[in-house]
Each structure stands twice: as structure tokens, then as C-alpha cells.
């Protein structure tokens, strides 16, 4: 299993473990917007296609903790002590891994699934994650880590 195209490209072919070795087309996305509501329990992040003539976008409902973590990093606020996503980043790096990107892999019953792809000793390790945590982790890197969405998931999300 491995990337068959450069991770900086907007579209990549990938044989991910969630696919059982079947090729997938990944679409490069970016964090377009965060909506934090003080009166609602559901916060929203919008992902938008980086390139392409379709310029597709879609929302993902997330919790307040992840939304504030993402918002803090987007605003450039760095806490004095590590919070949860800082801790995750530090643990991965101290164990010799390097986060490459995140991939939103599936949509089942209105719930998105994602993996955090970590490179360690020349091997790619996929860690199951909620998209909100994966996106929050991605924002803790400068520049932000690439965010990909499986083309099939993107098509289903915007229909």
C-alpha cells in the first residue's frame, strides 16, 4: 500500500487499507470555513476543493472542542502548554513518525470516517480517526497538512 502520486498534487491515486487494496482517487481539499455556535452543540467546518473545475465543497459537523482547537490554530494562537492535538503531534514525532496527510475515507449513515497517514521507517501507517480530530491535527502543522477526500465520498457528500 502506498501513494502512487506526489502528495502535493490535488488528485492522487491511493490504495488505502480501508479499500482492501482497491485504487481510490483522492481529491485535495482545504479548510474553507469554521462556524462556531455558542448556542448550538454542533459546530461546522467546510472543506473546499483546492483545484479543479468543479470547485466542490461540503460541511462536516464537529464538536466544540475540535472546533475551538482548529480555530485557535487558524488564528495563530499557540497555547503555553500542549493541548490534546499538540500532544498527539508531539507523541507521533517523538516516536519517530511524520504525519504526511489525512484522508476522509468513507461516509456511512451521515458519519464521516478518516485516517491519519503517518510515515515511519519508510512505511505508511494509517490510524483510524474522526475527521474533526484529523483536521485539527492537520492545522497544528505549518504549513497545514494536506487534507484529501476520497472522490466517491465527495460525490456522495455533495449530492
The half-sphere exposure of 58 on its side-chain side, counting CA atoms within 13 A, is 21
Q: Evaluate if residue 152 carries a pLDDT over 70.
A: yes
pTM of the model: 0.86
Q: Are 156 and 107 in contact (CB under 8 A)?
A: yes
> Average of pLDDT values for 9-37?
75
Give the 3-state DSSP-derived string for 48-68, with helices as H, strands as E and coil as C: EECCCCCCCEEEEEECHHHHH
Query: In angstroms, rounded to a whole number, what is the distance separating the alpha carbons of residues 147 and 102?
Result: 5
Q: Which one, of 28, 43, 145, 27, lies nearest residue 85 by Cα? A: 145
How far apart are alpha carbons 13 and 6 in whole angstroms?
A: 9
| The pLDDT of residue 5 is above 50 | no
13: which strand partners? 25
Q: d(Cα 92, Cα 23) in Å, to the nearest integer?
A: 27
pLDDT tens profile 116-129: 999 999 999 999 99
State the DSSP code for 37: -
**Class of residue 4 by CB neighbours under 10 A (exposed 0-12, middle 13-18, buried 19+):** exposed
Domains in the chain (CATH in brackets) are 11-157 (3.10.690.10)
Amino acid at each position: 500500500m502506498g501513494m502512487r502520486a506526489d502528495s502535493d498534487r490535488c488528485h492522487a491515486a491511493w490504495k488505502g487499507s480501508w479499500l482492501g487494496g482497491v485504487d481510490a482517487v483522492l481529491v485535495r481539499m482545504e479548510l474553507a470555513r469554521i462556524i462556531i455556535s455558542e448556542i448550538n452543540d454542533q459546530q461546522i467546518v467546510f472543506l473546499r476543493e483546492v483545484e479543479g473545475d468543479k470547485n466542490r465543497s461540503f460541511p462536516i459537523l464537529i464538536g466544540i472542542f475540535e472546533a475551538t482547537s482548529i480555530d485557535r490554530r487558524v488564528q495563530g494562537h499557540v497555547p503555553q502548554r500542549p493541548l490534546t492535538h499538540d500532544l498527539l503531534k508531539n507523541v507521533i514525532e517523538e516516536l519517530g513518525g511524520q504525519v504526511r496527510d489525512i484522508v476522509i475515507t468513507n461516509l456511512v449513515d451521515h458519519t464521516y470516517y478518516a485516517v491519519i497517514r503517518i510515515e515511519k521507517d519508510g512505511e505508511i501507517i494509517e490510524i483510524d480517526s474522526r475527521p474533526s480530530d484529523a483536521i485539527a491535527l492537520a492545522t497544528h502543522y505549518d504549513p497545514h497538512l494536506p487534507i484529501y477526500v476520497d472522490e466517491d465520498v465527495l460525490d456522495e457528500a455533495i449530492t
